[in-house]
Amino acid sequence: MPRPKILLTRRWPNAVEAVLAERFDATFNAGDVPMSPQAIAEALRMYDAVLPTVSDKLPASVFEGEIRARILGNFGVGFNHIDVAAAKASGVVVTNTPGVLTDCTADIAMLLMLAVARRGGEGERQVRAGEWKGWCPTHMIGTKVTGKTVGIIGFGRIGKAFAQRCHFGFGMDVVFYNRSTVDPDEAARYGARQLASVEDVLAAADFVSLHCPGGAENRHLMNASRFAAMKPGAYLINTARGDVVDEAALIAALENGVIRGAGLDVYEAEPQVPETLLKMENVVLLPHLGSATEETRNAMGMKVVDNLTAFFEGREPPDRVV
């Protein structure tokens, strides 16, 4: 029986590609050039499986007509870049890679919070530019993190890991909003307590960190009215998905002093970042590094391997989304 034909839309860690080449008839993106939706649509007609990443776009149009692919092995937890309803209607299974990037993403959220509070990005740029004139009592005064209140929107695996770091590592008071009710004893294990609404969290928090899914239900969850509901002098941290934040409203809030700063790892139109944000000293910008460690990226890839192997052996993929 011929091995299933699979296509990877980007380069993956070498160790994972080696396993995929051994188990499947695999085609790799040698140049690591992002594929257009049209190219992905063509791949769906030529391969038994397509393995996209969170940076690919798979709208409903890519699933139109007769397609050969029966499974999308997504490299990443988020899947709001895929029209899952259209995939399901076309008989295409979608899987993701949950659980293995929790700690690394929580670490990046901590990095952003500390960097923006203590003006780390601004300070490094000053040193590299040769503009530092030496220590003085009033130079580059930031904000203390220890003992402050952090508000978390979304209390899944990553939200919990971030809460744990904040409370037990930095003595922060942790409040959170989650769509479903979390058992108070469970929340207490992470040093956190649940509030009734997003607005309640925004009103209480010195730092607001987003850990909710992207997609339609959360698109622009942070909008102009929500920024206005934040404490004066508060900071926003986003390691979730770019579309959770209305970037135009964020820019206005920063320009008008409604909030004091922001730390961002994700953007609405990646890899494009608004020019205004690039020029702001009170914003720390990272290039979507949430899961970017060797250990995590390998683990994510092996999750996809496990999902594909199960599917083509007639078993239920362990991380099936639809």
The domain segmentation of the chain, as residue ranges, is 5-96+293-313, 101-285
pLDDT of 11-62, one tens digit each?
Answer: 999 999 999 999 999 999 999 999 999 999 999 999 999 999 999 999 999 9
Same fold, 5-96+293-313 and 101-285: yes
Task: Kindly write down the DSSP assignment for every residue of 257-273, as one continuous string.
Answer: TSSSEEEES--TBTTB-
From residue 146, alpha-carbon distances to 153, 192, 195, 205, 246 in Å are 20, 15, 21, 13, 29
Residues 276/249, Cβ–Cβ less than 8 Å: no
Kindly compute the dihedral angle of the four CA atoms of residues 223, 227, 230, 233, in this order, to the nearest 10 degrees: 150
Using one digit for the tens of pLDDT, what is the confidence trace for 198-233?
Answer: 999 999 999 999 999 998 899 999 999 999 999 999
Predicted pLDDT of residue 297: 98
**Ramachandran class of 154: left when φ > 0, alpha when ψ lies in -120 to 50, beta otherwise:** left
8-state DSSP, 34: P
The CATH number of 101-285, from 3.40.50.720, 3.40.50.10490, 3.30.70.980, 2.70.98.90, is 3.40.50.720
Phi, then psi, of 212 in degrees rounded to 5: -110, 160
For the stretch 118-148, pLDDT in tens is: 999 999 999 999 999 999 999 999 999 999 9
Summarize the confidence of residues 177-185 as an average pLDDT.
98
**Mean per-residue pLDDT over the chain, rounded:** 97
Q: Does the annotation mark 81 as catalytic?
A: no
**Which residue, among 110, 71, 105, has the nearest Cα to 263 in the 3D structure?**
110
Class of domain 5-96+293-313: alpha beta
The pLDDT of residue 136: 97
Give the C-alpha separation, 248 to 205, whole Å. 22
Q: State the pLDDT at residue 1.
A: 79
CA geometry: angle at 102 spanning 99 and 107, to 5°? Answer: 170
> Is 288 in the active site?
yes
Distances in Å between the Cα of 118 and the Cα atoms of 24, 106, 113 are 49, 18, 8
β-pairing verdict for 173-177 and 149-153: parallel
State the DSSP string of 115-169.
HHHTTHHHHHHHHHTT------TTTT-----TT-EEEEE--SHHHHHHHHIIIII
Q: Which of 282, 254, 278, 255 is nearest to 267 (CA)?
A: 278
21 Cβ neighbours under 8 A, 6+ residues apart: none
Single pTM value for the model:
0.96
Residue of 165, 241, 260, 297 with catalytic role: 241
Q: What is the DSSP string of 194-242?
A: E-SSHHHHHHH-SEEEE-S--SGGGTTSB-HHHHHHSPTT-EEEE-S-G
Told to judge if 241 belongs to the known catalytic residues of this protein, a careful annotator would answer: yes
Determine the pLDDT at residue 190. 98
